[in-house]
């Protein structure tokens, strides 16, 4: 593939599957896809490089990360590092992946339509949804791929209007990736179901490890946090987007420390995610390989 499947999607929503609780007990952080797909098992430890079918540099990074988060256990044998899995990885821990493209202003689409066409033809996600603050016209809907759902969201009230439901995509089938556009034709590449499975795994782990309410809170005296962990501006009296609405350019900005938020505690109380699960205490187990 010329580009990573799913690139450009602002957010991936993960729908838990039957094995979600088992995944949550392993570690509260992301596990590298290369480690999950490696030949490193839970039985006898293997020399770290023999467990991977990829470049040594990538294998080394995946091994270090997997040991750090507690997915691999490490031991030294005559100055060589051997690893084994500390836990079984559940294949069914997520049921669906929903790609959400956030575009507040449809009047300045940029590369939005090309990205949405890529999302629909590649079909790495089970569904793709466009969210916007703009009034959605029939002309907008005609330009947006019919597989893409459209939501209109009012940040002032939190109200959501479903303008169009998304159509299910086919993550298990071969995807089509446009790679070069010409005036009369487009060159494409076929993406195998195996490549898409790896991409889905990478996206799911990234979404799990990145966390819930993962944005930085504004360093402003007017910034507050509501019961859902969302940033609220006391001056404007509404939820704000810190990335686009907050900062020195805002007329109400007053530099201050960001408001406090127990993000992990809130996430644990609202979702099936577990902060610092029993499996995560193993994350220091590989440090002795440097002694």
Report which DSSP code applies to 52: -
pLDDT of residue 4: 44
Q: Which strand (E) or helix (H) includes residue 34?
A: helix 33-36
The answer for residues whose C-beta is within 8 angstroms of residue 79's C-beta and 6 or more apart is none
* Residues 164 and 227 grouped into a single domain: no
CB of 63 closer than 8 Å to CB of 48: yes
pLDDT of residue 7: 40
Residue 115 placed within a domain: yes
pLDDT of residue 289: 42
Residue 23 placed within a domain: no
Residue 147 placed within a domain: yes
Domain stop point among 85, 120, 148: 85
Residue 39 placed within a domain: yes
pTM of the model: 0.84
pLDDT of residue 265: 92
CATH of the domain at 176: 3.40.50
* Residues 108 and 199 grouped into a single domain: yes
* Residues 238 and 181 grouped into a single domain: no
pLDDT of residue 291: 36
d(CA 264, CA 219): 20
The answer for residues whose C-beta is within 8 angstroms of residue 133's C-beta and 6 or more apart is 104, 105, 152, 153, 154, 155
Residue 6 placed within a domain: no
Residue 245's Cα: distance from chain center in Å? 23
* Residues 170 and 232 grouped into a single domain: no
* Residues 261 and 176 grouped into a single domain: no
* Residues 195 and 224 grouped into a single domain: no
pLDDT of residue 290: 40
* Residues 97 and 206 grouped into a single domain: yes
pLDDT in tens, the chain (291 residues): 444 444 445 688 999 999 999 999 999 999 999 999 999 999 899 999 999 999 999 999 999 999 999 999 999 999 999 999 999 999 999 999 999 998 888 877 778 888 999 999 999 999 999 999 889 999 999 999 999 999 998 876 778 899 999 999 999 999 999 888 787 888 889 999 999 999 999 999 999 998 878 788 999 999 999 988 989 999 999 888 888 789 999 999 999 999 999 999 999 999 999 998 987 554 444 444 443
State how many domains the chain has.
3
Q: Which domain holds residue 42?
A: 32-85
Domain stop point among 22, 54, 85: 85
pLDDT of residue 88: 93
Reduced 3-state DSSP string for 155-187: CCCCCEEEEECCCCCCCCCCEEEEEEECCCCEE
pLDDT of residue 21: 96
Residue 13 placed within a domain: no
Total residues found in the chain within this entry: 291
* Residues 166 and 235 grouped into a single domain: no
Domain stop point among 155, 185, 210: 210
pLDDT of residue 280: 59
């Amino acid at each position: 593939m010329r580009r990573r499947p799913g690139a450009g999607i602002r957010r991936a929503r993960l729908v838990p599957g039957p094995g979600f609780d088992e995944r949550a007990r392993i570690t509260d952080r992301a596990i590298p896809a290369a480690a999950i797909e490696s030949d490193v098992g839970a039985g006898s430890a293997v020399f770290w490089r023999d467990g991977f079918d990829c470049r040594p540099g990538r294998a080394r990074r995946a091994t270090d990360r997997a040991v750090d988060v507690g997915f691999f256990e490490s031991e030294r044998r005559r100055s060589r590092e051997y690893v084994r899995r500390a836990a079984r990885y559940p294949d069914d821990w997520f049921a669906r992946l929903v790609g959400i493209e956030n575009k507040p202003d449809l009047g300045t689409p940029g590369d939005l339509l090309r990205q949405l066409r890529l999302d629909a033809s590649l079909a790495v996600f089970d569904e793709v949804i466009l969210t916007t603050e703009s009034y959605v016209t029939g002309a907008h809907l005609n330009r947006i791929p019919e597989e893409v759902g459209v939501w209109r969201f009012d940040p002032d009230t939190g109200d959501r209007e479903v303008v169009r439901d998304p159509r299910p995509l086919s993550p298990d089938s071969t995807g089509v990736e446009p790679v070069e556009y010409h005036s009369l034709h487009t060159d494409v590449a076929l993406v195998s179901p195996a490549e898409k499975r790896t991409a889905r795994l990478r996206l799911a782990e990234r979404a799990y490890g990145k966390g819930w309410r993962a944005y930085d809170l504004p360093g402003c005296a007017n910034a507050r946090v509501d019961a859902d962990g969302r940033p609220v501006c006391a001056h404007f009296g509404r939820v704000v987007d810190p990335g686009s609405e907050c900062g020195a350019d805002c007329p109400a900005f007053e530099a201050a420390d960001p408001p406090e938020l127990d993000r992990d505690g809130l996430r644990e109380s609202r979702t099936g995610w577990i902060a610092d699960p029993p499996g995560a205490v193993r994350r220091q187990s590989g440090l002795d390989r440097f002694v």
